[in-house]
Copies of this chain bind each other. A is one copy, B any other.
Amino acid sequence: MAKRSTVYDVAQAAGVSIATVSFTFRQPERVRAGTREAVLRAARELDYMPSASARGLARGRTGALGLFSYDLLLEEPADEPGGEEDFRTYPLYVDEVQRGFELECARRGQALLIGSDPRGEGEGVMDIVGRVDGLAVFPGARPAELLVPLARLLPVVAFATAADDGVLHHVRVDNRAGTRALVTHLARTHGIGDIGFVGETRMSDVAERFDGLRLAMADLGLRPPDGVLDPTPVGSAEPFPEVKRLHAGGALPRALVCASDQLALELMDVLDALGVAVPGDVAVTGFDGVVAGRLHRPTLTTVRQPMEAMGRLAVEILVAALEDPAAAPQRHRLPVRPLFRESCGCGRS
């Protein structure tokens, strides 16, 4: 590796001072055309690449935005064994939001830093915070309060996170309207009034989904479930114990609304193993609208989040916040769209 050349090298080669070199790149109009040419030529010959570290230090800004996941999957490399490729684990909700974030950064010429927290110990945040001017964060195991101190240092957008004491920017969707649309459809179109909710409500998004379901059922004169089914983390040893118990007792609801597509897909695997037909015996719905739901048979009825728009919006918010640091935190709630497919009893779509 040849040593990278610096402003000093370029200045010497062009016969000017380092200030002129810097001006040539940052404020070209301040430099006479002839001088500018000379500097650019020297820079080209020396393969000059400005150090972002030095620039960031001098300017007090890094010029990059960050996207952070606490819980990025850290499985060992996937093998793609003999069968089909696995689109159940990718792209998920976060991936599509991230894509929106990327596209918007690219469109604006913003550098983008992707970070995660390998040890789960928060040091990942510290590392990334030192590198960026603004940060968007997916919800993780730990509460949003951990983000509050950060938000005093730089603008922070929290995705799908409960509102806080007013320093974070928020981007989330209308979860209640989503499950309401599902419930209404199940009741009106398929005549189903016995609906359960599967998922765990520690995450505020899921809590809202459950809430929307109960409200919608009450409005329709149906008896909402008292609580959720199987509020256990996905991937546990014995999945969906309550659903299995209900099935054993012949008391399975006619429809199961799941907190996410992933959960719905896993549930359908289990139902299949139990010999329960979907949607014949039980209708199943998801939430998110990931591609895996379309690959599954039956295709999964779900609620699609506007993920690309969410990612883009986060970038917009951060850029605006950098321009006007005094502005109040923004809270956005984006609309969702129900997708009625086979798993609720509709024809293929």
Contacts and interface: CB of A to CB of B under 8 A. Distances in A.
Interface stretch (A120-128, A169-177, A218-226): A120-128
Contact of A102 (B63, B108, B114, B349): B114
A113 B116 contact: no
B112 A115 contact: yes
A91 to B, nearest CB: 5
Instruction: Kindly report how many copies of this chain are found in the complex they form together.
Output: 2
A116 B126 contact: no
Contact of A131 (B111, B115, B118, B312): B111
Nearest to A74: B107
A47 B309 CA distance: 32
Nearest to A125: B49
Interface stretch (A149-157, A206-214, A251-259): A149-157
B153 A1 contact: yes
A103 interface: yes
B2 A152 contact: yes
A153 B91 contact: no
A273 interface: no
A99 interface: yes
A57 interface: yes
A158 interface: no
B80 A308 contact: yes
Interface in A306-337: 306, 308-309, 312, 325, 337
A49 B152 CA distance: 12
Given A62-B53, A114-B102, A153-B49, A124 B109 contact: yes
Nearest to A118: B109
B85 A49 contact: no
A230 interface: no
A154 B1 contact: yes
A277 interface: no
Interface stretch (A10-18, A193-201, A242-250, A287-295): A287-295
A188 interface: no
Contacts of A261: none
A99 B95 contact: yes
Given A153-B49, A304-B80, A308-B77, A99 B90 contact: yes
Given A80-B304, A291-B87, A304-B80, A64 B112 contact: no
A329 to B, nearest CB: 12
A140 interface: no
User: By CB atoms of chain B within 10 A, which of A75, A119, A306 has the most?
Assistant: A306
Interface of A: 1-2, 4, 47, 49-57, 62-64, 72-75, 77-78, 80, 84-85, 87, 90-91, 95-96, 99, 102-109, 111-116, 118-119, 124, 126-131, 149-150, 152-155, 289, 291, 294-295, 304, 306, 308-309, 312, 325, 337, 339, 349
5 contacts: A2-B152, A53-B56, A72-B103, A90-B96, A295-B295
Given A49-B126, A85-B304, 7 more contacts: A1-B153, A49-B129, A53-B53, A75-B103, A87-B294, A91-B99, A291-B295
